[in-house]
Amino acid sequence: MTNVHPDAAVAARINKWLEGNYDAGTKAAIRRMLDEKRFDELTDAFYRDLEFGTGGLRGIMGHGTNRVNRYTIGMATQGLSNYLKKVYPGEQIRVVIAHDNRNNGVELARVTAGVFSANGFRVFFFDALRPTPELSFAIRELNCHSGVMLTASHNPREYNGYKAYWRDGGQVIAPHDKNIIAEVSKVDSIDKVKFEAVDENISMIGSEMDRLYIARLLKTTVRPDVIREQNDLNIVFSPIHGAAVKLVPDTLRAAGFTNVNLVEEQCITDGNFPTVVYPNPEEEEAMTLALRMAETTGADLVMATDPDADRVGVAVKNGSGGYTLLNGNQTGSLLIHYLLEAWRDGGRMYGNEYVVKTIVTTGLIDKIAASMDVTCYNVLTGFKYIGALMTELEGKEHFIAGGEESYGYLIGDHVRDKDAVVACLAIAEMTACYKSQGKTLIDALTGIYLEYGLYREKLISLTKKGKAGAAEIRALMESFRKNPPAELGGEKIALVRDYISSTERNIATGIETKLDFPSSNVLQFITETGSVISARPSGTEPKIKFYISVKCDLPEPDLLPQKNDELENRIDTITRHLAT
């Protein structure tokens, strides 16, 4: 049954907004929804409060406790303010605020700045849209205690969000995330929010921070000679209407690349994303205009970033005269291999270097790092865990790079989040280096497969919207835990890792061992042939995600098409099994 009148708990939440100190426009919109009997929509808007997940606070914009609006953002900011005062009593607290091109982003950033300033904080406010990694950089550069980025990353146009950062420049993690949620929950009325901005507490920042940021990125290049040699590398770039519109082209040109061509239609900063269905470089459709331009101009490299410029999609020339889209695992493997070789060949390895990846990112990176005697750490899904490990190891070990399968990478330790701006620079340099050797990135990737084995990965996302969808996802994970499969796609399960209890169980022996990870709602099934199937509810979207990774040897390059087909068939078989 659908469109059922909200239950008593939801009705009480709705009435609180209708009777509270909310603006007239908000109240009128809620009454209109009631008059039009849009009960399912009202229930979804009010059945819960937005919570900090893997990416912070994120949701659909609109009216209600489960929506992103000036009130939910204001209450979150007041709760964060209260927590900062507890953690840093007596200090002059300093925060940075930035936003991307999302609709209402400027207004919500101003609300955030206003609440912080009304709490007596020193607020640094970017004068226009900026990439998420530059927010992280500014926190560190300005010695701030915290920062907030108003963004919904690559989500559809109806979303916006609020990423909270700590003084190391990384997203908040335990115990701060839970403690912030606890403080936010105490802000049970908007009357407890200090909405009135104190203008003298707010300082605008702009191009001076851009210059510092770009100067730091240029220090990450490992073979500047190849950039000089291949300075006319034909690059097509699209910011997909987002925050990288200036920073990526400016950085590439500052590094020495002279042939950077922009997809002008997508350089218009528009939160409606008029040229794409989803502003996500993981989606082939979002790369359409960039690929069309590449085919016209004969580009060597195509790159596109998401709205807040922390993810990058890549397409490269293939041997058939067209372009091949790389997935996140392939780009990550290429980058790690290229960087480690450059560090080794340049005599920069001293025995304490490391790279980081997430547990759902390809095992190929582990093999590459091991072959060069570099530690590869695995962390939970979410780049905030990579940032947290970097902070923990700062001054003890030397970070080279990190990456995750969802198109996020970081080269260098200037920030504590994924950085598509520096990734674009590294990818361009890498492409230039291989071009100087008469190779494409496809050639380089084939060489990696010949040396380390062929890996194929696939992500399957099932969308389950609203309150009913959330319950369905919980039930599915509970079913996997209570009745784990004995096999998937004909491959027998050898190990089951349950990250909620941080245990690994050997199916053959029944022996359980402890995993050194924080508790997280992730399950992994490792088969006897080495396939890895991970199940994980998204922290930022109404989805459950299945990550499938399979592998085999590649004895010679001519066998690549055949072996790829075999691995794709294995993935399809596992996918069908998961769907039943």
Q: Three-state SS across 114-159?
A: HHHHHCCCEEEEECCCCCHHHHHHHHHHCCCCEEEEECCCCCCCCE
DSSP characters for 408-464?
Answer: EEEESSS-BS--HHHHHHHHHHHHHHHHHTT--HHHHHHHHHHHH-EEEEEEEEEE-
Note if 153 is an active site residue: yes
* Amino acid identity at 242: G
* Amino acid identity at 197: A
Element (H, E) at 220: none
How far is Cα 343 from Cα 136, in angstroms, rounded to an integer?
26
* Cα separations in angstroms, 157 against 102, 203, 272, 279, 500: 7, 30, 6, 8, 32
How far is Cα 256 from Cα 230, in angstroms, rounded to an integer?
9
Strand partners, 513: 504
Alpha-carbon Rg for the chain, nearest whole angstrom, is: 24
* Amino acid identity at 477: M
Which is the catalytic residue, given 117, 153, 531, 538? 153
358, 386 Cβ separation under 8 angstroms: yes
Residues 6+ apart with CB under 8 A from 440: 316, 317, 318, 319, 434
* Amino acid identity at 489: G
Instruction: Give the residue numbers annotated as catalytic, written as ranges.
Output: 153
